[in-house]
Structure 1
Amino acid sequence: MDFSTFRLEKAGYHQAQAISDLINLTYRGETGWTTEASIIQGDRTDRQEIETAMTNPDSCFLVANQSFMLVSCIYVVKEKEQAYIGFFSVHPSLQQQGFGKYMLEQAETYASQTMRVRRFSMFVVSQRSELIAFYQRRGYRLTGQIEAYPLYLGTPRTSDLTIDYLEKVV
């Protein structure tokens, strides 16, 4: 895929609703390999949560646009000596073409250069083995820290959902 056709930039507050919509489409929509609709119902986020995340001075939403359409987003926030990565979404029509790998690399580069961190962390629904494998192929490792699924992220369709924490040191 030719990534030069995409415009990568820091998101502005005016993009909060579009970011929320993309995240919900990616994780709760009916298509794409990242959907969790079969195991979690309800929205993953909303405009208010995105706007609140944007107010953190140690954070940044990176977004990719193509033809005036938001096609990907990733959030990076510095927490002590590491960067937490979240809200990572690629439009379902662009998944499995290398774009996710590209966006993750861009976020890590941004955090390394701008936030001066060498450690990255994130959490993933434990039952999403294919998503965990995606991150493991990019150098992330499971930390062994597992917690109950946080209910503010949607309503689990089963009672046994958990989240796994992953980290990467560069």
Structure 2
Amino acid sequence: MDFSAFRFEKANVNQAQAISDLINLTYRGNAGWTTEAAIIHGDRTNRQEIEAAMQNSSTHFFVVNLPSMLASCIYVAPEKEYAYIGFFSVHPDLQGQGLGKYMLEQAETFASTVMNIHQFVMFVISQRTELIGFYQRRGYHCTGRVEAYPAYLGVPKIAGLTIEYLEKKAMRC
């Protein structure tokens, strides 16, 4: 995929519903390799949660828009010595073409160059080994921190779901 025409840009609050819809489609829809529909029921997020995240002046929501759809989104929030990466989604029709890798690289570059933060943290459902593998191929590693699956992320369809924290330290020049 040629990303030269894509604009990695800051989202605006008017996009909160579209961002929420994209995240729910990505993680709770029936298409794409990132879906969790088989193991979790209910929405992953809502417009109010996205708007609240956007209203914090120290956090950053980024998107890539295509003429016909919101292609991708990612959230970067400073937390002490690291940047938290979350709400990361690529439209199921565009998955597997490198857009996720591109978005993650852009978010990490922003955190490093603009926020001067060189450590990134995120959490992933522990049972999503293919998603953890995606992040490991991009330099993230498991921290050993595992917690019970939080109820606000949807209702588990299987028992014993947990979340695992991953981190990455960027190289400094």
Q: Same fold (TM over 0.5)?
A: yes
TM-score scaled by structure 1?
0.98
Find the aligned partners of 1:107 and 1:7 in 2 and give their Cα distance. 13
Unaligned runs of 5+ in 1: none
Residue 88 of structure 2: aligned partner: 88
Q: Residues 15-64 of structure 1, C-alpha deviation per residue, up to 9 Å, x if partnerless?
A: 00000000000000000000000000000000000000111121101100
**One-letter code aligned to 1:159:** A
Pairwise CA distance, 1:5: 2.5
Residue 158 of structure 1: aligned partner: 158
Residue 63 of structure 1: aligned partner: 63
- Within a 5 Å distance, the mapping from 1:122-137 to structure 2 comes to 122-137=122-137
Pairwise CA distance, 1:130: 0.2
Find the aligned partners of 2:68 and 2:19 in 1 and give their Cα distance. 13
Q: Percent identity?
A: 69
**One-letter code aligned to 1:124:** V
- Within a 5 Å distance, the mapping from 1:1-170 to structure 2 comes to 1-170=1-170
Q: Secondary structure at 1:89's aligned position in 2?
A: strand
Tell me the matched-pair count: 170
Find the aligned partners of 1:114 and 1:135 in 2 and give their Cα distance. 22
Q: Residues 73-107 of structure 1, C-alpha deviation per residue, up to 9 Å, x if partnerless?
A: 00000011110000000000000011100000000
Q: Secondary structure at 1:72's aligned position in 2?
A: strand
What's the C-alpha RMSD, in Å, of the aligned pairs? Answer: 0.7
Q: Secondary structure at 1:75's aligned position in 2?
A: strand
TM-score scaled by structure 2?
0.97
Q: Secondary structure at 2:73's aligned position in 1?
A: strand
Find the aligned partners of 1:39 and 1:108 in 2 and give their Cα distance. 29
**One-letter code aligned to 2:15:** Q
Pairwise CA distance, 1:69: 2.0
Pairwise CA distance, 1:7: 2.3
Unaligned runs of 5+ in 2: none
Find the aligned partners of 1:133 and 1:87 in 2 and give their Cα distance. 18
**One-letter code aligned to 1:163:** I
Aligned partners of 1:5 and 1:66 also within 8 Å: no
